Structure 1
Amino acid sequence: MLALFYFSVLLGVGATALLDLWALLLKALFKLPTPPWHLVGRWFAGLPSGQFVHRAGIGNSPEVPGELAIGWAMHYVVGIIFAAALLLVWGVGWVFLPSFVPALIVGLVTVGAGWFILQPGMGVGVACSRAPNPNLARGLNIVGHVVFAIGLYGTALLIG
């Protein structure tokens, strides 16, 4: 159990850090905005009080103290949870003999967490249906989760 926790943290942090570098690259090359981690933090901060959906959009909800730090922390916690899911399905031994397909499966399946939980909860609809450019947002979601998968695989290669 300790190995599961240890490797989930390493894999999750490594993969999430690669995703963050990818976001910075997209900003530098294409002037795309980085993810609004303060708004993600605002959403997570509302969960304990039962605020699951911000129908008018999370940007119209009141600011929460520490929302940026909460958003960043939860971004990494979720990455660790996704890494744990990989290890629970394929076993901790995957770290020592990684293959890309399991990481890719986890990366693609976890797109659903954003599309069906986070984005509707933040008021942008299922799969960003109410975003200014839904297809661009969906494409970036998919590519981002593939980058996360590359991060899972690459981190396993480095630590295994």
Structure 2
Amino acid sequence: MIVTALHVAPVRHAPMVAVDRIDVEAGRGVVGDRWFGTRHRHVSLQSDEDLAAAAAELGRAVPPEATRRTVTVDEGAVPTAPGVRLRVGDVLLEVVRVAAPCRVMETSMGPGGAAALRRRGGSILRALSSGPVRLGDPVDPVDPVDPVDPGPDLRRS
């Protein structure tokens, strides 16, 4: 998988802004994004393949910014199982939960948008390390048997 789109919104309900790079802080999220500093909702991830399937169902294009997700990858299934770890560029992320579609998508995507993304909404991840994520960065699963110590602030109790 490769990062094909990056979007942020400075405040809730603000339009998503396409960027070439985001800066992620461990335990805090994407600098300058509306979710920065929240407990677990640091980064959201979706797939172009899922957007194409939603577009086919809706009969109209679904641009990445319409879903209000931060990172879009070119292909493949986005992991949704809690605890799965991914390295996006140099940043280590961990899946927290499925990114459920919300009613805001009925406005950003039009009628039927939220339903078209059911089981295609991607994932919500928390940041275990800091660093930049850029367009074109690889997205790779991290072997769960590899010991990764995210630091005292992010260890599970």
Confirm or deny a common fold (TM above 0.5).
no
Q: Structure 2 length normalisation: TM-score?
A: 0.31
Which has the larger share of strand? 2
